[in-house]
Amino acid sequence: MAWIVLVVSGVLEAVWATALGKSEGFTRLAPSVVFGVALAASMVGLAYAMRSLPTGTAYAVWVGIGASLTVVWAMATGEEAVSALRVLFLVLIVGGVVGLKAVH
């Protein structure tokens, strides 16, 4: 159960990071509210997962999922350029996250 909560929390990290950028310094209400709700839910989920998973592993997986999805979303929406090197480095991040799960 902790792993499922951790993955969902990682996805929520990507949501709040994207909403933070869209909030334009908290001057836009809707993205600011999405940021706050997603941030709180993401942190609660991370804290829950850390009750039964090692701190370093849980945090690295959470950050890896959030960072990867944030970049993938930005590339999919055209906000960031897509290149072979960017995709390679994203694959390396995902591989590291999977590796951490595998050795747990």
Helix (H, G, I), strand (E, B) or coil at 23: coil
Q: Do residues 64 and 97 touch, judged by C-beta distance below 8 A?
A: yes
User: 43 vs 5, 20, 55, 96, 99, CA distance in Å?
Assistant: 11, 15, 13, 22, 23
Tell me what pLDDT residue 28 has. Answer: 97
Q: Do residues 45 and 4 touch, judged by C-beta distance below 8 A?
A: no
**Domain of 52?**
2-103
Q: What is the pTM of this model?
A: 0.89
Tell me what pLDDT residue 92 has. Answer: 94
Tell me what pLDDT residue 97 has. Answer: 86
Sequence-distant (6+) residues with CB within 8 A of 52 are 2
User: pLDDT of the chain along its 104 residues, tens only?
Assistant: 999 999 999 999 999 999 999 999 999 999 999 999 999 999 999 999 999 999 999 999 999 999 999 999 999 999 999 999 999 999 999 999 888 888 87
**Domain count within the chain:** 1
